[in-house]
Structure 1
Amino acid sequence: MGSTKQQILTILRQDKGIISGEKLANNLEVSRTAVWKAVRELEKMGYQIEHLPNGYRYLTSDVLEKELISSQALPTSSIFIKEETNSTMDDAKVAAMAQQPTPALFIAEKQLGGHGRFGRPFFSPAGQIYMSLLLTPNQTFEELPQYTILAAVAVSLAIDHYTGKQTQIKWVNDIYLDGKKICGILSEVTSDFETGRIKHVTLGCGINFSIPAQSFPENIQTKAGAIFSQKAPLITRNQLIQLIWQYFFELLEALPDKEYINIYRKKSFVLGKRVQFKQQGVTYSGKATEISDTGELIVQTSQGVKTLSSGEISLEAIY
């Protein structure tokens, strides 16, 4: 049996109605005071519990819980949740050095030193989704699937599922909703120099879950958004995180048919548009014509066809 507070949480959640303190005390064979204290502790943790003259009622709460995020591919023993961290990517790297069994998921309520591609810092308010997945693929670099693209597709599909809207993906790793960036994905690979095999892949993901539009710093208000920026969230973060990784592992299992690349192409808002980028110090512009099976962006420029690799190039403009 779990602690009194865990048992009370389970009962209130399952019942959905009003349960008296007396009934809870009798069921758990504890005092009314113990019930009251446990309810207070749950509220301090972020759970919303209504106090009524005839008892308590559980209200939908958004506290990150591994039990609600876990799946067959990601059991609770592989999920680690922190109140605060410098970066979930760092947490994953430390775990990799400690031989943590994989896959393993690292999540934080608040991230102090989050960064994106090329080390760019990003706005990281509390109450959003900051997570990193650690994998041990044991493959050569050539055999490696396009994990960044896989993750982008999984995030995009999960958000679509819960909002009924259509998210789009900016090559290579940003998710857009209603024309604003709501998510960035970062992947880092460590390899074994002697064997030439990939030791670990870490996939970092920062999602703006619920932030009012006016809360963004002025310099990014026109570019950045959140899944829920106009109204209260219709779902919990646990539900979204669970579905993201469910999709991710399903897509990973279906790799031979490359279904994820087809979805990625359909969701791209770069294809067919003119883009500007720098390659070896030279600025080029041209039309993005296709995305290869390995995730490179093919651009037709006046200087010929350019193949852009996501690890080296960032698009400077899309128009």
Structure 2
Amino acid sequence: MTTKEKILHLLQQSDVVLSGEKIAQSLAISRTAVWKAIKELEKEGYQFDHLANGYRYLSTDLYNAAALSKDLAMIPTIRTSEATESTMKEAKLAALELDVTTPALFLTETQLGGHGRFNRPFFSPKKQGIYMSLLLKPNQSFQELPQYTVLAAVAVAEAIDALLGQQTSIKWVNDIYLDGKKICGILSEATSDFESGRITSIIIGIGISFSIPQSDFPAEIRNKATSLFAHEEAPTFSRSTLITEIWTRFFALLAALPNDDYLGRYREKSFVLGRHVQFTQQGVTYEGIAQDITSTGELVVKTATETKVLSSGEISLEKY
């Protein structure tokens, strides 16, 4: 941890004003070094009260890898950036690094080329959303893998419920909805070793619209998407708090396998089950009633003539 990060951590953890002298003594540095570090932190967007008796941290919602690492000890590698093409791409590149310690989490303030399923662009305004990808190296066969997308959807939905005090719902297979509008998309990608047939890496990408005013959404999605704090009210919790809550729940779900009924929790949150859906498969459009979600995360749809079992990637749901 750098001197700047140590000073930030001290001020974030303190409920009282800390004098420059006390900070300097705690870290065995000069008061000039403290002053320079405070100035550098303020250039990065952090805010402090400059009082007669010292400094006081003013809450901001910036990503800080050191602070997140303290709360997410199960993720040894956390990397943050101001901007990137996409956190999925960052994770893919990191998967090729020989010395990267996993799980590894990649966070950015904005994505220049973020995308969801079917390569659809993902709206990523700066500092108003959560754009992150988690890299795992399970080294398991495909049959041994848990349903990572389903696990992530349950973790995200329940984390938002707990912090926001409202009930979210899940649209099969990878979208989280609030008040009938999309607030989150989840995308999982796997890489396998051709010779062994084992999955060498899994990347889970999550994009959450956090504090985007409703009027700022592009016109084509304004009636379909929203954010957790869309009406310009001050957020009641920080993005970092939500990130911590999501991954804490995700790894708790993983640790509880195979005993935890995460699929049951997923089904309870689904707003597709029991409803009329329309989907396209191999160029043919079908309609039917969504009846169940299998133990492998597939959607069972009863059409007028047959029962179809659909996997992600094969279909798009067009009626809700």
1:261-276 correspondence to structure 2 within 5 Å? 261-276=263-278
Relative to structure 1, is the Cα distance of residues 307 and 36 closer, same or farther in structure 2, using a 3 angstrom cutoff? same
1:17-96 correspondence to structure 2 within 5 Å? 17-21=16-20, 24=23, 33-70=32-69, 71-75=72-76, 78-96=77-95
Whether contact under 8 Å (2:279, 2:286) holds in the other structure is yes
Higher mean displacement: 178-187 or 43-52:
43-52
Match for 2:281 among 276, 279, 282?
A: 279
The SS at the match of 1:205 is: strand
Residue in 2 that maps onto 1:199: 200
Tell whether 2:210 aligns with 1:209.
yes
1:72-221 correspondence to structure 2 within 5 Å? 72-75=73-76, 78-99=77-98, 100-127=100-127, 128-221=129-222
C-alpha deviation, 1:310, in angstroms: 0.9
C-alpha deviation, 1:72, in angstroms: 3.4
Whether contact under 8 Å (1:251, 1:259) holds in the other structure is no
Relative to structure 1, is the Cα distance of residues 33 and 181 closer, same or farther in structure 2, using a 3 angstrom cutoff? same
Match for 2:237 among 228, 235, 238?
A: 235
The SS at the match of 2:90 is: helix
Number of aligned residues = 315
C-alpha deviation, 1:56, in angstroms: 2.7
Whether contact under 8 Å (2:20, 2:55) holds in the other structure is yes
Relative to structure 1, is the Cα distance of residues 140 and 31 closer, same or farther in structure 2, using a 3 angstrom cutoff? closer
* Partner Cα separation in structure 2 for residue 185 and residue 211 of structure 1: 18
* Partner Cα separation in structure 1 for residue 198 and residue 32 of structure 2: 58
Higher mean displacement: 151-160 or 20-29:
20-29
* Partner Cα separation in structure 2 for residue 73 and residue 24 of structure 1: 29
The SS at the match of 1:9 is: helix
Tell whether 2:310 aligns with 1:308.
yes
Letter in 1 for 2:101: P
The SS at the match of 1:69 is: helix
The superposition leaves residues 41-66 of structure 1 with CA deviations (integer Å, 9 ceiling, x where unpaired) of: 11111212123455432111111122
C-alpha deviation, 1:282, in angstroms: 0.9
* Partner Cα separation in structure 2 for residue 253 and residue 312 of structure 1: 30
* Partner Cα separation in structure 2 for residue 189 and residue 25 of structure 1: 48
The superposition leaves residues 99-148 of structure 1 with CA deviations (integer Å, 9 ceiling, x where unpaired) of: 33321111111211100001111211111211111111222222221111
1:4-19 correspondence to structure 2 within 5 Å? 5-19=4-18
Relative to structure 1, is the Cα distance of residues 153 and 34 closer, same or farther in structure 2, using a 3 angstrom cutoff? same
Relative to structure 1, is the Cα distance of residues 24 and 106 closer, same or farther in structure 2, using a 3 angstrom cutoff? closer
The superposition leaves residues 173-207 of structure 1 with CA deviations (integer Å, 9 ceiling, x where unpaired) of: 00111221111000111111222211111111111
Higher mean displacement: 123-132 or 20-29:
20-29
Whether contact under 8 Å (1:274, 1:287) holds in the other structure is yes
* Partner Cα separation in structure 2 for residue 102 and residue 21 of structure 1: 37
Letter in 2 for 1:311: G
Relative to structure 1, is the Cα distance of residues 102 and 25 closer, same or farther in structure 2, using a 3 angstrom cutoff? closer
* Partner Cα separation in structure 2 for residue 30 and residue 47 of structure 1: 21
Letter in 2 for 1:39: I
C-alpha deviation, 1:68, in angstroms: 2.9
Q: Using structure 1 for the length normalisation, give the TM-score.
A: 0.92
Which consecutive unaligned segments of at least 5 residues does structure 1 have? none
The SS at the match of 1:219 is: coil
Identity of aligned residues (%): 60
Which consecutive unaligned segments of at least 5 residues does structure 2 have? none
* Partner Cα separation in structure 2 for residue 245 and residue 139 of structure 1: 21
The RMSD of aligned alpha carbons is: 1.9
Relative to structure 1, is the Cα distance of residues 279 and 28 closer, same or farther in structure 2, using a 3 angstrom cutoff? closer
Relative to structure 1, is the Cα distance of residues 272 and 20 closer, same or farther in structure 2, using a 3 angstrom cutoff? same
Whether contact under 8 Å (1:46, 1:62) holds in the other structure is no
C-alpha deviation, 1:30, in angstroms: 5.8
Q: Using structure 2 for the length normalisation, give the TM-score.
A: 0.92
* Partner Cα separation in structure 2 for residue 237 and residue 157 of structure 1: 15
* Partner Cα separation in structure 1 for residue 115 and residue 49 of structure 2: 38
Whether contact under 8 Å (2:5, 2:66) holds in the other structure is no
* Partner Cα separation in structure 2 for residue 6 and residue 145 of structure 1: 37
